[in-house]
Structure 1
């Protein structure tokens, strides 16, 4: 059983706290591996580990067999030198001048705050929320399927948050029994996986600590095993065993168990080159004993398997000695090589404590000055400093309609009854008009243990906890502090976009208030989903079909609790232009006393993405000269124009730009705020379908207005600005752009043809086709419009007999073929359909509606 008093006491020792997420591609075994750690911590029984999937706390997770929501579990382990050498132990010198931690002899409690995250791309926002409050990540890879598209996506997210990874190569039993690979083939397979992960780490890692993230089994930051059967190992376990036999130091032995190191039994010598007499060290001393034990315990008599295991120091009860077949294999392997030992060694020795991690993570998390009291306390992970807490997501509580806030304490100590400042994402320090700030008391603080909670009086810096009572004031995420001048912790950037939408309505009109309230709760419960009301329609926006299906079921069954009608999934399109305006467009104010002259043109390729990432905007605000050089050198901007970029939009950070290119206009800054407001309006509701505009640069060419300020107020300038911008879009060859998925299909080689044919029918563009060595599987990567993806899974299963598995991830936007101004084109039909759905006039308004004449 879990001793909560001991766990809470251990939380004070931050050197022995680990905050980690388990991340991987879908169905690579995160949850089954997590079971092994839960069993070791006493939360579930050892017999249940691998089958229970304890972090699947929702009914739909148990039915579908995949993780949908990330689940937080706090565990406490008694550590001893059998399991690990703790990283802050005394250091000894080896003969090869390498510092190695000396094994501790005293027992120490290690607290692991683990977050089991989803692997399906539709739930990538849950991974982002998990990584924000973690310091390390265990990356799980199926040894047969290898590094897949979502593995790369979650690794890229982790590195952006400066998370240090370790690697678990899972399902090794598949390579032995399903594929029946030789030890050398297994070595080549796992070696390719380690190399592929290191290539991703080299590509995306940033910061001074980036050299420390690379993975090497000889460093014991890579483990191997089978989560389903509860066994696993890393090389230090075998190195310790063989170092006694060969009378070699453990540190030297472990290096011989990986890479180009070969052993000759005849000569009893090691060499660097293979020959007929020698065998690779990893194969000879690691894989061959493991494979022999697996096959003996599964296929031979139980007596021979038990005798073999007992020689290795494994003991069995009388009941266990009666087991046969797979049950015996599972029992023997769990006792000989417990997966929890291998994982705990990596977690304790190679993942950073919050004390270490916050020294380099604070600069990318805290928006304020790096020398203010909050930043300094965060860097020290100071439990007695000013409170700084980040809420990364909300989870439904046992009290229906209420939510627990899942949070990371970066500094200070949060306690029950404490008076705090609750700051939402829109909070601006120093502003007198802050509506996103609440000063309230914390009702309760909790330790999260999967589907259950344990109340505690307080939680110190460096830990993850649950908070009760702040869900009324925070929408999705936010910052909690006690320091009056604190800035926010940075808002999370998601790797997926809500590009698929569904309209919902109630069956009984009397239930409409319940739908509205249910949508508010749904929006709070999911980090990514957007719930909007547009033209009388209630819209739910999600990352994909599965994400929307889960959200709509939650809305109907948990939050609104009324029957609903759903539309077919729809795609969110964007509007853009493909040429410069063929004329300067004039719009007059309603009083005819103000005139604005505008043109539109497309932004250079790649600039929209830079603006959306926020990197360029931050640089633009902090260093005008650097941003000028960046735009001139990379995108061919006129250096005079870069100094007069007024804003980005919509919402101040969108991928469109308003530039003042006028000359000699008197008192122009008097109307700047109104022009900017008009630009935000026009960029959020384009001329074709009143959808968001993307990739357009609007140029203010000239302006004329009367001297009296009463004649040029916002009521005159804002509508005129919008009309001028819509006219300039109509004269610059407007187009629709559609979202595009990168789809990765994994299938047997004999199903490749069927998958390729289906992709071609769906406007797919194949970019890569890989035949996996030593595996019957192959992968196809292709670009496919999101609009064509609906029902793709079912058709692919039908065409390939259920043997192919697709994975979608939003990749980019592309021009939709056809002229939307031509009603007979595909683009024109889509425009007409969207306008009809939104209740707009069927035809696109003519240029004369926006373009005025002198």
Structure 2
């Protein structure tokens, strides 16, 4: 049979066989039947037994069946035919990492080697030198917090002055005095900057070596009698671009410590600091710093150094007298009353006349009257060693000996300092020990081996022993919070005029009552360490603030009639901010500074924080900050990736909170514009935007400046406009405002919040307005402190005054809208007086609503403006350059190429340097500092700040002027060029449209009177 199944070649020729699957099924079936289906009782028992085992296996979770299935799958995969290119030797990335992980396979390396494939989580670090712990101090923090309950023992001072005059270094001396473990780090020494710079906590401050933000510092310091005072010091930037930080600091302080370099004298930053202090009504304490430069750098003899110091004091007093609004603030500064002190922050010593007199009494004449001796240490007073008498006659000794001709300040104050410097710089090994013994200064043998600079610092610090003169001047000439509270409330609180009906709020603030109504004036926002939010810094005016307290935050626009700009918030933690570290507090009473957590969300720039209870419902706000400069430089920004626009918008909001004077706007073209005071200001702001607040890359356009619009003549015709419903008609003319009024309004010299009679007297007496016009002022524009005036010049016999009064608010809104965006290039309007000559108002309220009157008032204001010979105005900067004599000509040439002109050129007294003062158009100032340094090989140093507005030469509406690209324009073409380029940048048409600002009846009237509309499209 077997042979029939195969042929002679061995091939199978028998019947068809069943498939493999059928064979396997048969085998399984036979196996089951063979194992469990044998006939007989024994087979049945075995079957039952194995069935029970199967049940137990099922109870165990079916592990056996799963293993059987897995084994079968493996056998199938092993028997399957797989091509070589489809074989899988390793599991896929998705199988290894799971479905929650995104896996990518890249054929090319798209990242540089310096960039990690998986970037680490980057944490933002706002404060480059922040300390997590509180360093060891010479005072007890518990004692300091107890002292916060005694406002009479608190002093709040702003440290101000010119750039690089030693303000930060002066505070370093106080930090080293009270913090024994705080010294300059090794990295600072390696960088060649051995100064501590304790108040420089931001990275940009450490890299640039200048202060960008104001920084508070609270220390417990003893005066000359050993009595401790809580001295709050605020380090302010010296660069004039950051004058907004100075204004925020001044609002929280009661006096200004003015730091002036003895070698350079009163510079631009010095005068601006004095001007702002006088605006805030703050007394001054003069600290003449860096007197070591007179000895080491200028090498002046002691007598010449005295003349230099005396000239400097007279120069500061002249500036104070110039800017002081009241005789009380014009009090002259003099060393005789302790309001002038002398210091060298580099060598860590400070003295006043009283401290030097006490030093002589302590070491040489115990029975001497130190007070009377100090009164004879300044001025033309001479000491005769033979008769031991003081005289104002230099030849009182009967001869002309050198000793008799020396003034007492030179003989008793400067000569000991000169002797120490000359001895230690000269022959150290032989004379130092003898001089130290003569001056009663202890010094060891090992200390004699120090280098000259550390040895000088050590000897001078021990000779003058502390900074008591500075503390004594602060205690004597800076009022305490309790003494300054009443004047502060009267000057800055918006509800001071209605103090009789405020439920005792003003009385509590004027008394600095810690148990009164809670009022906090917040002027500064400090970013959190990760830049995710802000902490609010302010001063407790009255009441006591507790942690976790419920408060109300009142914005700058809050009024009792309109409470929209207010929000309830819960206070988080409270801190005492000390530059690089913080001390947490549970409560802060009146008269102290405080850093508050958790209330920053509704605050834009400044705020007033009060309690949430019913007793605080009558609290009004403190007035916004006043600045002595303006934001005139602007740049347009956009994100590199359009999808990151929300991030940039959030970053711009945070940036606006961080910089008090920075403004962020959206133009009609949709571009986002940042406005600041100067190039350095915007450079720091954009750095913060990129690295801290938005954390994205942004593209920045070329910088431009803000323009203004004005008129130079009175409107040639009476301009009128009708409302869309033809029921109302307004008639206006425009004319230039008298010189000085705009500046007075912006500086707060006059306000419409005053009583009407007081406002009328101001304009009548100072600007010779007639009484009727002075009493008819309706509004300033574009806001309450704007440089434009709207006057109601209608006659009661011609106009229904009652109806006009009902439409007043709408007309004022239209006027302010028009002055906010002028018709030439939508820039603010300046120095314009709008007179309303006639008004026809509908008697029905429905026909004289705001929707009818507001756009009509705006349109008639525009038409009156265009009929008054409109002109463009550009900002001018005041430039001060410090340069050697041989580089003065280079300063002149660089300024001449940029339309600048020099106003003052004089040598610095007692110095080889010259000071050149000039005016420069802001639009031509970009790159000026770099250009100047290039032409003078780095020898000239200049600073610039906004000074005034000036009319651009030329007619902006002259269509005969052709602007050729990439060619410099003559002066008479500048106004037209600026207007066209500004309108293009904002997405406007090149020329002003007639139909946008003139009604058809007005155009017919102009045609009848043959009035030309040249320059209008």
TM-score by length of 1: 0.93
Asked if 2 retains the 8 angstrom alpha-carbon contact of 1:573 and 1:736, the reply is: yes
State the shift of 1:146 in Å. Answer: 0.3
Asked if 2 retains the 8 angstrom alpha-carbon contact of 1:727 and 1:847, the reply is: no
Report what 1:91 is aligned to.
none
Asked if 2 retains the 8 angstrom alpha-carbon contact of 1:586 and 1:852, the reply is: no
Q: After TM superposition, list the pairs within 5 Å mapping 1:46-85 onto structure 2.
A: 51-77=195-221, 79=222, 83-85=223-225
Secondary structure of the 1:769 match is strand
Report what 2:941 is aligned to.
805
Report what 1:418 is aligned to.
549
Report what 1:288 is aligned to.
415
Report what 1:841 is aligned to.
989
Find the aligned partners of 1:312 and 1:362 in 2 and give their Cα distance: 50
- Is residue 318 of structure 2 the alignment partner of residue 199 of structure 1? yes
Find the aligned partners of 1:46 and 1:561 in 2 and give their Cα distance: 33
User: Cα deviations across residues 417-474 of structure 1 (Å, max 9, x unaligned)?
Assistant: 2222211111112x1x311112222111111010221211011111111111111121
- Is residue 619 of structure 2 the alignment partner of residue 486 of structure 1? yes
State the shift of 1:516 in Å. Answer: 0.2
Find the aligned partners of 2:475 and 2:748 in 1 and give their Cα distance: 35
User: Larger C-alpha radius of gyration, 1 or 2?
Assistant: 2
- Of residues 127-136 and 293-302 in structure 1, the stretch that sits farther from structure 2 once superposed is 293-302
Distance 1:378 1:324, change over 3 A: same
Find the aligned partners of 2:873 and 2:595 in 1 and give their Cα distance: 42
Distance 1:384 1:319, change over 3 A: farther
State the shift of 1:327 in Å. Answer: 2.4
- Is residue 145 of structure 2 the alignment partner of residue 8 of structure 1? yes
Report what 1:29 is aligned to.
166
Structure 1 gaps, min length 5: 86-106
- Match 1:334 to one of 436, 455, 461: 461
State the shift of 1:201 in Å. Answer: 2.5
Q: After TM superposition, list the pairs within 5 Å mapping 1:678-689 onto structure 2.
A: 678-689=814-825
State the shift of 1:25 in Å. Answer: 0.6
- Match 2:571 to one of 436, 442, 449: 442
- Match 1:181 to one of 285, 300, 307: 300
- Is residue 647 of structure 2 the alignment partner of residue 511 of structure 1? no
- Is residue 372 of structure 2 the alignment partner of residue 252 of structure 1? yes
- Match 2:512 to one of 372, 381, 384: 381
User: Cα deviations across residues 545-581 of structure 1 (Å, max 9, x unaligned)?
Assistant: 1101111111111001000111111110000111011
- Is residue 179 of structure 2 the alignment partner of residue 42 of structure 1? yes
- Is residue 656 of structure 2 the alignment partner of residue 523 of structure 1? yes
Report what 2:385 is aligned to.
265
- Is residue 536 of structure 2 the alignment partner of residue 405 of structure 1? yes
State the shift of 1:128 in Å. Answer: 0.8
Find the aligned partners of 2:894 and 2:538 in 1 and give their Cα distance: 44
Report what 2:334 is aligned to.
216
Secondary structure of the 2:258 match is strand
Asked if 1 retains the 8 angstrom alpha-carbon contact of 2:436 and 2:443, the reply is: no
State the shift of 1:308 in Å. Answer: 1.7
Asked if 2 retains the 8 angstrom alpha-carbon contact of 1:686 and 1:693, the reply is: yes
State the shift of 1:329 in Å. Answer: 1.5
- Of residues 43-52 and 514-523 in structure 1, the stretch that sits farther from structure 2 once superposed is 43-52
Find the aligned partners of 1:273 and 1:746 in 2 and give their Cα distance: 38
Secondary structure of the 1:453 match is strand
Find the aligned partners of 1:176 and 1:194 in 2 and give their Cα distance: 18
- Match 1:668 to one of 787, 804, 808: 804
Asked if 2 retains the 8 angstrom alpha-carbon contact of 1:243 and 1:253, the reply is: no
Task: Name the Cα RMSD after superposition.
Answer: 2.1
Asked if 1 retains the 8 angstrom alpha-carbon contact of 2:485 and 2:509, the reply is: yes
Secondary structure of the 2:851 match is helix
Report what 2:475 is aligned to.
348
- Is residue 955 of structure 2 the alignment partner of residue 832 of structure 1? no
- Of residues 388-397 and 222-231 in structure 1, the stretch that sits farther from structure 2 once superposed is 222-231
Secondary structure of the 1:345 match is helix
Q: After TM superposition, list the pairs within 5 Å mapping 1:559-638 onto structure 2.
A: 559-618=693-752, 621-638=753-770
User: Cα deviations across residues 123-170 of structure 1 (Å, max 9, x unaligned)?
Assistant: 011111111111122111000110112211111212222222211111
- Is residue 625 of structure 2 the alignment partner of residue 477 of structure 1? no
Distance 1:386 1:298, change over 3 A: same
Find the aligned partners of 1:725 and 1:47 in 2 and give their Cα distance: 62
- Higher-RCO chain (CA-CA 8 Å, sequence separation at least 6): 1
Distance 1:636 1:338, change over 3 A: same
State the shift of 1:509 in Å. Answer: 0.2
State the shift of 1:267 in Å. Answer: 4.2
Find the aligned partners of 1:75 and 1:41 in 2 and give their Cα distance: 8
Find the aligned partners of 1:113 and 1:796 in 2 and give their Cα distance: 40
- Of residues 763-772 and 201-210 in structure 1, the stretch that sits farther from structure 2 once superposed is 201-210
Distance 1:320 1:162, change over 3 A: same
Count matched residues. Answer: 824
- Of residues 159-168 and 131-140 in structure 1, the stretch that sits farther from structure 2 once superposed is 159-168
Secondary structure of the 2:852 match is helix
User: Cα deviations across residues 45-93 of structure 1 (Å, max 9, x unaligned)?
Assistant: 367797111101111111111111011111123x2xxx514xxxxxxxx
User: Cα deviations across residues 393-420 of structure 1 (Å, max 9, x unaligned)?
Assistant: 1011124311111111111111102222
Report what 2:889 is aligned to.
753
State the shift of 1:207 in Å. Answer: 5.5
Find the aligned partners of 2:477 and 2:447 in 1 and give their Cα distance: 35
Find the aligned partners of 2:482 and 2:325 in 1 and give their Cα distance: 20
State the shift of 1:847 in Å. Answer: 6.8
Report what 1:300 is aligned to.
427
Find the aligned partners of 1:61 and 1:848 in 2 and give their Cα distance: 50
Report what 1:96 is aligned to.
none
- Of residues 535-544 and 763-772 in structure 1, the stretch that sits farther from structure 2 once superposed is 763-772
TM-score by length of 2: 0.78
Report what 1:724 is aligned to.
860
Asked if 1 retains the 8 angstrom alpha-carbon contact of 2:247 and 2:627, the reply is: yes
Asked if 2 retains the 8 angstrom alpha-carbon contact of 1:36 and 1:339, the reply is: no
- Is residue 320 of structure 2 the alignment partner of residue 172 of structure 1? no
- Match 1:773 to one of 904, 909, 925: 909
Find the aligned partners of 1:643 and 1:164 in 2 and give their Cα distance: 35
Report what 1:236 is aligned to.
354
- Match 1:18 to one of 137, 141, 155: 155
Report what 1:98 is aligned to.
none
Secondary structure of the 1:75 match is strand
User: Cα deviations across residues 780-813 of structure 1 (Å, max 9, x unaligned)?
Assistant: 2222211121111001111112111112122111
Report what 1:226 is aligned to.
344
- Of residues 234-243 and 787-796 in structure 1, the stretch that sits farther from structure 2 once superposed is 234-243
Find the aligned partners of 1:706 and 1:183 in 2 and give their Cα distance: 82
Distance 1:115 1:779, change over 3 A: same
State the shift of 1:266 in Å. Answer: 4.2
State the shift of 1:310 in Å. Answer: 3.6
State the shift of 1:338 in Å. Answer: 4.6
Distance 1:44 1:598, change over 3 A: farther
Report what 1:103 is aligned to.
none
User: Cα deviations across residues 666-686 of structure 1 (Å, max 9, x unaligned)?
Assistant: 333333222222212111111
User: Cα deviations across residues 760-781 of structure 1 (Å, max 9, x unaligned)?
Assistant: 2222232222222221012122
Distance 1:385 1:306, change over 3 A: farther
State the shift of 1:206 in Å. Answer: 4.8
Distance 1:302 1:845, change over 3 A: farther
- Match 1:119 to one of 226, 235, 238: 238
Asked if 1 retains the 8 angstrom alpha-carbon contact of 2:804 and 2:841, the reply is: no
Distance 1:257 1:229, change over 3 A: same
Asked if 2 retains the 8 angstrom alpha-carbon contact of 1:302 and 1:324, the reply is: no
State the shift of 1:650 in Å. Answer: 0.8
Q: Pick the structure with more strand per residue.
A: 1
Secondary structure of the 1:617 match is coil
Report what 1:163 is aligned to.
282
Distance 1:779 1:296, change over 3 A: same
